[in-house]
Structure 1
Amino acid sequence: MTPVLLSLAALLAASAWTAPAAGAAPSAAGPSVTVPSGWEKVDADELSAVARDADARKAPRAAGDGVSAQAEEPELLAVQSLVNDRFVATEKSYPAPNTGVLRARSDAYNGSWEGFAFEWDEATATYALKSLANNRYVAVEKNYTGNAQNVLRARSTSVGGWERFALYYNETEDRYAFQSTLNGLFVTMENSHTGSLQYLLRARSTDIGGWEQFALWGI
């Protein structure tokens, strides 16, 4: 599979990670978002073609990790940030409220922690991302506050509006971008965050820029 890039958000100043208030509901008002010229939505057939490319490069694997060389399904993919060249992992061992947070922190594909199933929904023309690490769907935590607002977490057992993403592709630059349908914002990799949440993924950008670029790899 040829690598695909995912462009997601600008940088925010650091603040405390805070869990949402109980019963908080997402705001109905949405930001003004513009999809730049050259970016087109990707459907299931197009993504499958990428995954099934005979000449596709596979995600680099850690030595001796015992990972199978073949994916069971073509839509099983690893996501690599083009900001720091690291693979996105599900931090399933993090304590609450960080459990299942997505971070671009792995040097290689080590196994299920860096794997995701891309599930297409024809009715909404969107994808749900299911982490292979904990079999949970990735949700956008819109009600979190501070620099963790809109963080991506693999924590849902079913798919709703919080778990749906539009996938965009730029053919000229051969890269992809994710857009949350919950808040209409593009996903970014927070390269300047520090501590245990460094490199976390958040849906918080109104445009597709350098911080939003990702590659997709067959696993």
Structure 2
Amino acid sequence: MRRTTSVLLSLSTLLAVSALAAPGVQAATPKADGPVAVPSGWEAVDGTELARIAGESEEPGAGRAPFAADGGVSTTAVEPELLSVRSARNGKFVATEASYPAPDTGVLRARSAQVGGGWEGFAFEWDEASQTYALRSLANNLYVAVEKNYTGSAQNALRARSATAGGWERFALYYNEGLDRWALQSTLNGKFVAMENGYTGSLQYALRARSAEITGSWEEFSLQGYGA
């Protein structure tokens, strides 16, 4: 009887040790949100490249603004480019809906036939430390955030509502030379920004960080110097 008990204990000890040593028994470490690989055919664009590509047809210094030291962006950032964003899907310029009531105040929509003022202007502020952009709306001087906690059709909507730029307000910028188009990827959820052409009502043409890849004109935009 004692021998049987000893064998069973030894077997239990061996199984316990084997389980601890076996691969995959520990819980997987969650991955941080953010951009993954650069999409095929596209190139990641930093602050210097944006100034060169977006400014090729402009006068020296056009579309640029002095750096605001208290704007929540690294002091190593280059001067921001003042740009207007146009959807390749519907040909409309992106505007900040500063007069929308809460909770959609400041939502971004591609709804303007032309650039009429600050509603369609954005400062693209490059941060060298994080290698990302923050977009500051010229309509209300607030940074564009991805509303990850929203639900339903408004989830991951882009909204100019933040006084400073943190993880919710960071984007990677890509350029496709062959198409001469641009794409934005949220570093908060790793999704590309799409224009919701099929939406109706107040969120029609709203911008949302919701695409796993660049599938076409829904996620493609053109940039031009603000006021150009």
Task: Place the TM-score, normalised by the shorter chain, in its bin.
Answer: 0.7 to 0.9
Q: Are residues 1:114 and 2:117 paired?
A: no
CA distance in 1, matches of 2:33, 2:46: 24
Aligned partner of 2:204 in structure 1 is 198
Unmatched 5+ residue regions in structure 1? 1-26, 58-69
Q: CA deviation at 1:175?
A: 1.2
Worse overlay, 164-173 or 196-205? 164-173
Given that 1:140 and 1:152 are in contact with CA atoms closer than 8 Å, whether structure 2 keeps it comes out as yes
Cα distance in 1 between the residues matched to 2:85 and 2:106: 16
Structure with larger Rg: 2
Instruction: Tell whether the 8 Å contact from 1:103 to 1:197 is kept in structure 2 after alignment.
Output: yes
Residue number in structure 2 paired with 1:81 = 87
Superposition deviation, residue 39 in structure 1: 1.2
Quote the offset at 1:38 in angstroms: 1.2
Q: What corresponds to 1:44 in structure 2?
A: 47
Answering whether residue 136 of structure 2 is matched by residue 130 of structure 1, we say yes
| Correspondence for 1:149 | 155
Cα RMSD of the aligned pairs, angstroms, is 2.1
Distance (Å, rounded) in 2 between the aligned partners of 1:76 and 1:214: 15
Match of 2:107 in 1: 101
* Structure 2 unmatched ranges of 5 or more: 1-29, 66-79
CA contact (8 A) 2:42 2:176 kept: yes
Contact kept in structure 1, 2:35 and 2:187, CA below 8 Å: no
* Bigger RCO (CA 8 Å, 6+ sep): 1
Please list the CA deviations of residues 171-190 of structure 1 after superposition, one character each: whole Å capped at 9, or x if unmatched: 22221110000000000000
AA aligned to 1:186 is F
Matched, 1:175 2:175: no
Indicate conservation of the 8 Å contact 2:192/2:211, yes or no: yes
CA contact (8 A) 2:35 2:185 kept: no
1:111-134 CA-partner distances (Å, limit 9, x unpaired) = 100000000000111000000000
User: Please, which moves more after superposition, 78-87 or 164-173?
Assistant: 164-173
> CA deviation digits over 1:151-188, x for unaligned, max 9?
00000000100000000111222211100000000000
The 1:32–1:162 alpha-carbon spacing in structure 2 relative to 1, beyond 3 Å, is closer
Matches of 2:54 and 2:35, distance apart in 1: 32
Residue aligned with 1:123, SS:
coil
Secondary structure, in 3 states, of the residue corresponding to 1:162?
Answer: helix
| SS of 1:88 mapped into structure 2 | strand
Alpha-carbon distance change, 31 to 169 in structure 1, aligned in 2, over 3 angstroms: closer
* Offset, 1:51: 3.1
**Cα pair 2:194 2:219 within 8 Å, conserved:** yes
**Structure 2 residue aligned with 1:217, among 209, 214, 224?**
224
Bigger shift: residues 205-214 or 169-178: 169-178
CA distance change for structure 1 residues 161 and 100 in 2, over 3 Å: closer, same or farther? same
Task: Give TM-score scaled by structure 1 length.
Answer: 0.77
SS in 2 for 1:47: helix
1:158 aligned residue (132, 155, 164): 164
Amino acid aligned to 2:50: L
Distance 1:163 1:31 in 2: 12
- State whether residues 34 and 206 of structure 1, in contact with CA within 8 Å, keep that contact through their aligned partners in structure 2: no
What is the one-letter code of the residue matched to 1:215? S
Identity of aligned residues (%): 67
1:144 alignment partner, SS class:
coil
